[in-house]
Structure 1
Amino acid sequence: MLKVFSNIKLKIGPKIIGGIVILAGLGWFVAKKQWARRCVRIEVTVDDSHQQFFVSEQSVKRMMTKSGSRKLVGEPLSYINLKEIEKDIEKHKFVQNAEVYAGVSGVLFANVTQNRPIARIVRPRAKDAYINFDGAILPTSSRFTARVPLVSGAYANKFVNGKQDEIFEGVMTVLRKLEEDEFLKAQIAQVDVDKEGRLKIFPQVGKQIFELGLPQDIDRKLQKLTWFYEHIYPFKGPNAYKRVSLEFERQIVCE
């Protein structure tokens, strides 16, 4: 019985090896033929699923060609360094990720994901700046203005200068929660951080100010803010109170 199985293996083995060799040869031939092709054109796709337009197709093409000094169209694909082009695109502050690859037909594709800000830091004596979900500081752009909550106050100015402490992390928690909560995001216009790190929230509609105190127990405080909008706001309206404190546990203080 063992001898029979041994014979079967010996008969099948060469066929499998032969098939692998043929497939490898075909793969090598196709790859060689593809890379012998020349770049016929460049196609750029910029992710704008969040309606952010900091990066355009034209600007990506300029980065890929280094404003015309790097020839791509007409060049053999085997001469084009795709990784180097990706790195050049990702140098742009508003590019989070870039993927560059060549198609079988000779088209050079670039897929770009934008670096999306979640808030804008406003500074009366210096240029404004954006901040993204990871806490990275981004410059403003003359091309596009993002509709995001504003961050103001003496302490917020330190964020642009690289200060990352407990206050910074607390503020980032607030901003991330607002970004992820579509309802609250639609209500909030501005977050103010005073020199001691205490937070105040200004709504889109109305003159009342929501006080959070120090950026601690953020989930609890924002849950109370949602409760206020669901159970008090519909009956009292946007201007019933000047001040609404969410700082203290198990209570909302309205004045």
Structure 2
Amino acid sequence: MLRKFGYSWFLLKRSLWLILPIAGIGMAESRLGNQRCNDLIISIQGDSGAHFLNQMDVRMLVTENGGDPLLGSRLKDVALNDLENRVKRNKLIRKCQIYRDLRGNIVVEVEQERPLARWISTSENGEMQNAAGFYINDDGASFPLSDSYSARALLVSGSYFKDTKKLQMVKGSAMMDLLRFLNADPFWKAQVAQVNADRDGEIYLLTVLGDQKIELGMAEDYQSKFKKLRLFYEKVLSQDWSRYKRISIKFQDQIVCE
């Protein structure tokens, strides 16, 4: 009998260890839900060099331009998912998470988009036609320009980039790899000013030093083409950067210059 009583007491203690924390959490949640919103705490993450949005911009998004101020609202009545969807409607925002903290604040954490390239409209001779365009992110998706900030990004032009759906398909993976390469390699990031691609994906590059037009061909096998071009730069062009205006590396194992 004593053994049975001892076993029951052991189970009761184990149950209390489980029930009490859960009950405590429930009580804390109840108290928190009845709290009023004290403040909006806004955190903007992402590329430290890009400033598409500031804290006031995000505050205006969360509060519907002040129409839904939130301050003083009972926390349990605030639909956090609705607030997140409200903020995500802005295409300059990549991710958004909204939650409430133990101090009665609503915390808004957003991650702004990171531009990999910027598409510009150009004429047939490559001159920029207007300031319109859009950014392309690392996933190949487009997002709009900002009215308050212009990010430094690789310029791209041509009909191929105008339809960013191509960049998100398997066939566009080589082109995206090329753009990432040009952003990551210090030498080519400084040397390539613009990438143009026609409807079929034929690429030519405009450079900074020498102002050359470089015919790259298709994006596939771009690494070996740039190795060949780098060697040509070091052996030939370094002697006279203005020697040639057109360089073609689209053909295997040869460089054609004019």
For the structure 1 residues 28 and 225, does the alpha-carbon distance in structure 2 shift closer, same or farther, using more than 3 Å as the test?
farther
Partners in 1 of 2:16 and 2:7 — Cα distance? 14
Structure 2 counterparts to residues 147-186 of structure 1, below 5 A: 147-157=152-162, 159=163, 168-186=172-190
C-alpha contact (below 8 Å) 1:167/1:215 kept by paired residues: no
Aligned match for 2:117, one of 107, 114, 119: 119
Aligned position for 1:76: 74
C-alpha contact (below 8 Å) 2:47/2:114 kept by paired residues: no
C-alpha contact (below 8 Å) 2:117/2:136 kept by paired residues: yes
Aligned match for 1:143, one of 141, 144, 148: 148
C-alpha contact (below 8 Å) 1:54/1:94 kept by paired residues: yes
TM-score, normalisation: structure 1: 0.84
Aligned match for 1:107, one of 105, 108, 114: 105
Aligned position for 2:11: 13
Aligned position for 2:224: 220
Partners in 2 of 1:205 and 1:235 — Cα distance? 10
Aligned position for 1:201: 205
Aligned position for 2:125: none
Partners in 2 of 1:17 and 1:234 — Cα distance? 80
Residue-by-residue CA offset, 1:48-80 (whole Å, 9 max, x unaligned): 434111122111111111111113101111111
Partners in 2 of 1:135 and 1:106 — Cα distance? 39
Question: RMSD across aligned C-alpha pairs, in angstroms?
Answer: 2.9
Give the aligned length: 250
Q: For structure 1, which segment, 245-254 or 198-207, has the greater mean C-alpha deviation from structure 2 after superposition?
A: 245-254
For the structure 1 residues 22 and 168, does the alpha-carbon distance in structure 2 shift closer, same or farther, using more than 3 Å as the test?
closer
For the structure 1 residues 202 and 74, does the alpha-carbon distance in structure 2 shift closer, same or farther, using more than 3 Å as the test?
same
Q: How far 1:251 moved relative to its partner?
A: 4.0
Partners in 2 of 1:7 and 1:247 — Cα distance? 87
Q: How far 1:166 moved relative to its partner?
A: 7.6
Q: Which residue identity does 1:21 align to in structure 2?
A: I
Aligned position for 1:129: 134
For the structure 1 residues 253 and 108, does the alpha-carbon distance in structure 2 shift closer, same or farther, using more than 3 Å as the test?
same
C-alpha contact (below 8 Å) 1:132/1:138 kept by paired residues: yes
Q: How far 1:102 moved relative to its partner?
A: 0.8
Residue-by-residue CA offset, 1:105-125 (whole Å, 9 max, x unaligned): 111111110122211111146
Q: How far 1:248 moved relative to its partner?
A: 2.6
Partners in 1 of 2:103 and 2:240 — Cα distance? 61
Q: Which residue identity does 2:216 align to in structure 1?
A: L
TM-score, normalisation: structure 2: 0.83
C-alpha contact (below 8 Å) 2:40/2:107 kept by paired residues: yes
- Which blocks of at least 5 consecutive residues in structure 1 are unaligned? none
C-alpha contact (below 8 Å) 2:46/2:112 kept by paired residues: yes
Partners in 1 of 2:236 and 2:52 — Cα distance? 36
Partners in 1 of 2:155 and 2:140 — Cα distance? 14
Partners in 2 of 1:81 and 1:155 — Cα distance? 42
Q: How far 1:154 moved relative to its partner?
A: 4.5
